[in-house]
Amino acid sequence: MCGIIGYVGENGGDTAVVDVLMDGLSGLEYRGYDSAGIAVAEPSIAVRKREGDISALEEALHGGKLDGTAGIGHTRWSTHGPPSDVNAHPHTDDETRVAVVHNGIIENYRALRDELEAVGYRFESETDTEVVPHLIAAGLEDGLGCEAAFRQAVARLEGSYAIAAVFAGSETVYAARHESPLVLGIGEDGHYLASDVPAFIQYTDRVIYLDDGEFARITPETVTVTDDAGTVVETSVETIEWDADDAGKSGYDHYMLKEIHEQPTAVRQCLRERVEELERSIAVDSLASLSTPERVQFVACGTSYHAALYGARLLRERGVAATAFLASEYDTDVVPVDSETLVIGVTQSGETADTMGALRGANTVGARTVAVTNVVGSSAARECDHVMYVRAGPEIGVAATKTFVSQQIALVLVASALTGEYDSQLVSALRDFSGQLQTVLDESAAQEVATAYRDAGAYFFIGRGHNAPVALEGALKMKEITYKHAEGFAAGELKHGPLALVTDETPVFALVTAGSKPTKTLGNVKEVQTRGAPVVAVTDGCSDVEQYADHVLEIPETHPTLAPILANVQLQLVSYWVAHELGRSIDKPRNLAKSVTVE
């Protein structure tokens, strides 16, 4: 949650600094958009911040001038205190000697605030973040220099944080991280820091990822990384393989629609050099040293959890005991986990707080860990024993689309690689899969379905086998971007309670594909139709469900394991078009942010 940007320019110039900060905030708005603000330092600190999206901050900056060569910015997803100008970041001390932006949650802020108020420090906001500039100010008043005061303050914090600070009279940005991401950008005419690469990708593709417990000092000439004792840490500079155009809309109305249409390319990237049809092998180099595990436990949240459910079933079909856990509910004191257990964390960002907590718990008790993630250099990628990148490319829309499809394809490969099983029909289907995805995108009737049911009171999604997680995902997408009530069920559960909710105002989306007990799901279709519910069948033609459905969304025939992935794309499009017709904020749905870095 929340996005941080920092910049120090070698050539100075207030316009350049402000422009970089504002560009960075625009590139991070998917991480939070309740409020936004910037602070520019040297010789004094000037702060501008506003409730609302970036446009409100732009209006506040209109006609003004901010002097300085160093600056920080923040776009907020609210945790402590509602969205307001006062609660927006950056926050300063009473005398505006230091300005701070923060992502995460400071768990002991209440005790720190009471302590600081008792000695005369004044607080204006309801945020946990405001304790940080006051702690720094206390260090300055004790005679410490800027860096020492910053380090002393950070040492007192409990919880998760990525923090950046600027000081009056200084051309330096100081930063620290603990369980919340920060990445440094190495430029030609200046240096950057941010919560995520899109904030500065238009300026540089050379990055350094900070690890937990590390500090960064960024000046116009240098970037220095140290540990909590102040010892310089050797770092490696990595090159990002995508550019600013990849993170743009490319002419689409919304990032989400663009990313839905990028799925054929994302799948090709995920499969590249991992599937060898002639050699009859599926190989994931990063997992090559792993033998078939005795048991596998997936940990994940949200959309990634639905992918984990899919992956767990794939492994069970291959004879491996596999279970998917919601990461927030995973407890190594309760769940049997040991050195013979393989724990796979599925996380788009590689920074999801609950998933990282589960993986760290698994590491503590000696389990082997694997990260299935989209972000190179993320916390999950660095902290797990093994990593498999899904290679979906940048995803800006808050509602995950291409990363979900890429996760599913990646888990097909993981299941095959871990068990050593080679299914020639599956490999042949993978070869053709990108083209089939494109066929769905080109021929979908989803917009027509969305028009027919945009005013429905609620939406139900049902499926069996590999289709059950996709039914859950279809409902989640509908909820996220339309704000309409939607539920997904394993189809057999419909008659064990949810059928009481079915009326002629609750369309039912039924996933009916080969290999997922289509005859039984057809029986469920007849159950809801008898109660007057309209039915939308998503099908590969494996049954005669078409004659019972009010609308049909077709998918090409493929391997039964892959059919649910094609069906999912149809559901993504339905949700998108319902939201579009309702005028929703599709890329930035209310109350949600892309990367959930707080528990």
Cα 315 to Cα 295: distance, rounded to the nearest angstrom: 9
Which has the closest alpha carbon to 39: 83, 89, 114, 80?
Answer: 89
Q: What does the DSSP 8-state code read for residue 398?
A: S
Cα 168 to Cα 95: distance, rounded to the nearest angstrom: 10
Which has the closest alpha carbon to 17: 183, 211, 218, 252?
Answer: 218
Phi, psi of 183 (to 5 degrees): -130, 140
Given the residues 402, 479, 588, 594, select the one marked as catalytic: 594
484 belongs to the catalytic site: no
Residue type, 119: V
Cα 38 to Cα 355: distance, rounded to the nearest angstrom: 31
Cα 489 to Cα 471: distance, rounded to the nearest angstrom: 6
Identify whether the C-beta of residue 28 lies closer than 8 Å to the C-beta of residue 194. yes
Given the residues 2, 146, 270, 384, select the one marked as catalytic: 2
Which has the closest alpha carbon to 311: 434, 403, 409?
Answer: 409
Spacing of C-alpha 2 from chain mean position: 12
Written as one string, the DSSP assignment of 93-145 is -TT-SEEEEEEEEETTHHHHHHHHHHTT----SS-STTHHHHHHHHHHHTT--
* Alpha-carbon distances of 121 from 19, 64, 116, 133, 137, rounded to whole Å: 33, 30, 5, 10, 10
2 belongs to the catalytic site: yes
Q: Which residues are catalytic?
A: 2, 594
